[in-house]
Structure 1
Amino acid sequence: MLRSLRPSIVTAAALLLACTSEPADESATASATASNSGTTGDATTSTTTATEVTSTAATDASATAATSSTGDPLVPGDDALIPVFEGEHVYFGDVNRRQVDVTVDLPEDGEYDAITLSFALDCPNGLCDHWDRYGTFGVVRWPGAEDEGYVELTRFITAYRLPASWELDLTDLRPLLKGETTLRVFIDTWVGPGHAQGDGWLVDASLDFHGGVPSPRAIDVQPLWYQSFAYGDPMSPVDQQVLAQSFTPPAEASAFAVRSHVTGHGFGNLDNCAEFCPRSHGYQLNGAGGYARTVWRDNCTETAVPDQLGTWTYPRAGWCPGADVIPWTFDVTADVTPGAENTILYAVDDYENTCRPESAQCMGCSPGVTCDDGHSLPYYYMSAVLIAYD
């Protein structure tokens, strides 16, 4: 059994989304501070060398064991601070640099009881992008392949015109962070040098590895989803966009957790979805276990960069401008069979957006908005991985 060291909301239900869960408290772990130093598109590649996750002791014995469940010795690795990005300019202009890749050498061997990502956004020439932009940072498993196998480590939204910085615990994602690794940053910006609304963003990132044997110890991370999908269109049901996934975890694993990010975007629609409408989202494993929560964040005044030049204080569907997105991590040990094929489903509350051109009757639009103009279609970004523990 895993106990969360950081807040996560887990509602077990007989059927997925059968009951309403309370909005998640995302305040305790969000940290975004202003700094006084200032996935799509062409990728730029360079080379450098050098949980809202669960992190728990399954038993006292496992917390002090010097060997793994397979009898291998567990030896703490050497401390290492790995620079990833240093003043990397992310922008859109004559050159599309919204997405930048870098290859780094991470510790191959040894055990680490803390892996901390330090991430910062600054303003090129003092001119940050004026708008709140979606951003993601993660691992590219197969660079150059048709399916590059991108795995999201963290998600963030830029501040309105201001720098931001935060630190994140990635310890349980150690299986993805070893040896030669390609890391990617993407920011959905549409401005660049000389643009009237800013020059884009400067990105700094580093990974701090602290030697020690973690408890519990993640031994495998399997990607489940990383995608966006439309919400509220009867011609495109969510279950036809977000397909069920199968996974086979290691037979020697004794505990499991799902780590997910869900954020809503688009506004002006019925209920002002999906950016400004709380909805229940959930996962079901093997037709039995149901885990649901309301994706809603109403603590932006306490957790995001203050005094932004935009509407940064409003509650939103799982995010705040100028802050990292808090992962939802929940224990699924009771519903996973080690060494066998398992299935996981995703679902969200039913919803039809009647403020859209195809609607039989146009209704529910925000003031000043019509079905043909003044709104952006509602959609979600959703990612999830399955973490297996020794």
Structure 2
Amino acid sequence: MRQRLGAYGWAWALFYGLCLGLTGGKWRPSGVGCDNLWKVKERAVRGWNYDLHLPGADMMGLDTDSDTDMGSGDDPVAGLGLWSGSQLEPGMNAPPFTLHTLDGPLSFPLSGQQGPASLILHAFTNKSGFLGHYEYIKITFWYCYVNHRVKDIQRVKNLLSRLHFVPTPVFALGNWIAAVFYSWRCQGHNCGFSQVVFSSPDLKLTIIGKRLDARYDWLTKSWKSVPYILVDGSDGCNITSDVRGAVALVSAEGNCSYFTKIKNMADSEASGVLVYVSRGRPLQDMNCEGVECHTTINIPASIIHFQQDVINLLRNHIKVNVNFQHTPSPIFFFGINMERKLAELGWFLYPSFNFIIWQAEWFTYIKNLEAKLRRPAFVIHVFNDTRMQGDKGVVATIDLPEDIFSFNHLELDVSLSCPGTTDETCAHWDHRIELYVCCKENSSLCNAELGRWITPFRRRIGHWLTDVSPLLPMLNARKCTFTMKTVPWAMPWKPSLNLRFTIAGQIITGYNSILHPFHLLRLFTGGIFNINYNKKYQPFKFIVPPSTKKVDLYAVITGHGSDENGCGEFCVTSHHFVINGIFNNSRIFDKAGTSLGCADRVSEGVVPNEHGTWLYGRNGWCDGQNVAPWTRDVTKQVNMQGINSILYFGWYKGKDPNPKQNPGEIIMHSYLVFYN
């Protein structure tokens, strides 16, 4: 079946409702040092092909495997009827279609489904090293209904029947789908064609081949848009002076790993490495393994197909030049979510279908979120797609209802969009967004933080529901001013905010009770995470107010910045609240710095496939997610009648932080919450 698909410049895979429990391909280990993750993050956001030549390309003429006439006229989608590419945008309803698959016709909207299903459409081309590499093409696709999980291999095989191949080139589909593929802008790792160009006076024609660059978070150097001299480096398993100052062409064969080959060539002072696979073999993802990832290699490397003419010239000591280029292309993927709306799929940082799985998980997350938002609640609209930028942010003064104190449950319904209709109009970097509220100017709670979020890297689909019920005492007047802002130099976002009030019962001492948070006691804040971090904290004395039935510890904690240990963004920190010298309530962010610490949380609201290093675990947060408050019931830890104490301290590796340079920062607010 794969060979049949390969005969077409653009063939099809269409699959819907992806199962969320499967993964495929080799994951890079978590061995990359936390101290290097900040550099990787910056490189990912700024891009690593930005300095390569982008040759002019007819975006509609990439199907060179066929001589089919696309017709005349300026509109590349002429003849497709009402739905042209300029009319269909992300978020719009997907029009009906019928595709002729190898198993017969498949029509949308889908019929006979037992539950809502999403669809992901993938146009395959054999011109792309990214799409055609070994680990990528061997991964199978699967289908399942909402919340269904694959548990055994036999079930995987059964689910493969839900994969639909459409052996028709995109230009011949005759419907609106081609318009979306051709007109939606494509940027990033899963877009365009990364190519290597060989030239020599002894070559009759320039040879242009596809390439797959080594994993972005392993080798941080990029190819430049200048000609290099190419030199034979044999199999790369030994250091050689022959490659000094040139690009080494080495065989994938030999008794050594990709890491060893590239390190040997770096130690030989080569300018870069091209690894070629044996004749007829597919490209493979070049990555480090385990402790290899701790070794810094400062040259670029790519893997390419076997090129006999180039090898012959080098072995005959004939000069060969090599250049690197990136040719634009239409998009390869888009989706239809469970609400039947068109959706972008974002960035694929490396060739793996797990990025499609994460997008499918997001579709399911949004469906579940929409179900929660349909529950009865008293809703107050604060912001609605309002532009946020600069020192002021967005500000709204709202009248609260007279019976506001009858509610004991408050959720923040926040969505984050961008000035345009596509991801490319979004801000490039991740920053904190904070929501502040002031209801009484003379109150100690005036302009306290009510909620916190982290912006995604260039995606406009964020939507979260955050329970901040313990902070209801902040709303201590009928009129309140809400301010939402991020750093003033950030590109603009367009947030929406709704307050959702409900009444919820709680279980306490064995019976149901409607408890209300009636008093907040401010505790500790964060600061610069250095050797002096814990010196400023002293035990805090407090008395439990009369009529209290329950006491909660409430904290929002995130780490930012990067010292030599990756602190505070990528390091594991622990935060301890000790009550009455006995009870240690600890919060440990043990996923910080792990390779998939945030990718594993898409089902919890992490925006997938962002245009940056969104996958790595962070210190108390993830890119493109709300910062969930941490609460702990400490009722049994306090003396309801006498004096109590609480002490806080924060640790790195079980002791006070002690960075040598550029200390990070802990952003924290914490409270004791009293209920009656």
In structure 1, C-alpha distance between the alignment counterparts of 2:615 and 2:579, rounded to whole Å = 36
Give 1:20's aligned residue.
none
Structure showing greater radius of gyration is 2
Give 2:450's aligned residue.
153
Over 3 Å counting, the alpha-carbon distance change for 1:139 and 1:221 in structure 2 is farther
Give 2:556's aligned residue.
261
Give 2:564's aligned residue.
270
Give 1:281's aligned residue.
575
Per-residue deviation, 1:208 = 1.9
Per-residue deviation, 1:226 = 6.6
Per-residue deviation, 1:89 = 1.8
Is the Cα contact below 8 Å between 1:259 and 1:328 reproduced in 2? yes
In structure 2, C-alpha distance between the alignment counterparts of 1:338 and 1:140, rounded to whole Å = 30
Per-residue deviation, 1:109 = 4.7
Cα distance per residue 1:77-135 (max 9 Å; x no partner): x952111112222112xxx3336353432453563364322111110235222110012
User: Is 1:330 aligned with 2:632?
Assistant: yes
Is the Cα contact below 8 Å between 2:380 and 2:500 reproduced in 1? yes
User: Is 1:355 aligned with 2:649?
Assistant: no
Cα distance per residue 1:217-263 (max 9 Å; x no partner): 1232314247440012x3x34231x4544444321112211111111
In structure 2, C-alpha distance between the alignment counterparts of 1:175 and 1:251, rounded to whole Å = 16
Structure 1 counterpart SS, 2:619: coil
> Match of 2:498, as an amino acid?
S
Give 1:208's aligned residue.
500
Give 2:92's aligned residue.
none
Measured on the aligned residues, the alpha-carbon RMSD in Å equals 3.0
Structure 2 counterpart SS, 1:348: strand
Per-residue deviation, 1:156 = 1.1
> Match of 1:280, as an amino acid?
S
Is the Cα contact below 8 Å between 1:159 and 1:322 reproduced in 2? yes
Q: Which has the higher contact order (CA 8 A, sep 6+)?
A: 1
Give 1:118's aligned residue.
413
1:1-390 equivalences under 5 Å are 80-92=378-390, 96-98=391-393, 100=395, 102-109=397-404, 111-112=406-407, 114-126=409-421, 127-143=425-441, 149-163=446-460, 164-177=462-475, 179-191=478-490, 198=491, 200-211=492-503, 215-225=513-523, 227-232=525-530, 234=531, 236-240=532-536, 242-267=537-562, 269-297=563-591, 299-301=597-599, 302-303=601-602, 304-338=606-640, 340-349=642-651, 350-356=655-661, 376-390=662-676
Over 3 Å counting, the alpha-carbon distance change for 1:260 and 1:237 in structure 2 is closer
> Match of 2:607, as an amino acid?
V
TM-score (norm 1): 0.64
Give 2:319's aligned residue.
none
In structure 2, C-alpha distance between the alignment counterparts of 1:345 and 1:299, rounded to whole Å = 29
Is the Cα contact below 8 Å between 2:410 and 2:502 reproduced in 1? yes
Is the Cα contact below 8 Å between 2:381 and 2:499 reproduced in 1? yes
Structure 2 counterpart SS, 1:174: helix
Per-residue deviation, 1:201 = 0.9
Is the Cα contact below 8 Å between 1:141 and 1:151 reproduced in 2? no
In structure 2, C-alpha distance between the alignment counterparts of 1:295 and 1:260, rounded to whole Å = 13
In structure 2, C-alpha distance between the alignment counterparts of 1:35 and 1:229, rounded to whole Å = 43
Is the Cα contact below 8 Å between 1:264 and 1:317 reproduced in 2? yes
Per-residue deviation, 1:148 = 6.3
Over 3 Å counting, the alpha-carbon distance change for 1:286 and 1:148 in structure 2 is same
TM-score (norm 2): 0.38
Over 3 Å counting, the alpha-carbon distance change for 1:212 and 1:288 in structure 2 is closer
Structure 1 counterpart SS, 2:420: helix
> Match of 2:387, as an amino acid?
H
> Match of 2:660, as an amino acid?
C
> Match of 2:392, as an amino acid?
R
Question: Could you say which structure has the higher strand fraction?
Answer: 1
In structure 2, C-alpha distance between the alignment counterparts of 1:247 and 1:141, rounded to whole Å = 25
Is the Cα contact below 8 Å between 2:523 and 2:672 reproduced in 1? no
Moved more, 248-257 or 294-303: 294-303
Is the Cα contact below 8 Å between 2:468 and 2:629 reproduced in 1? no
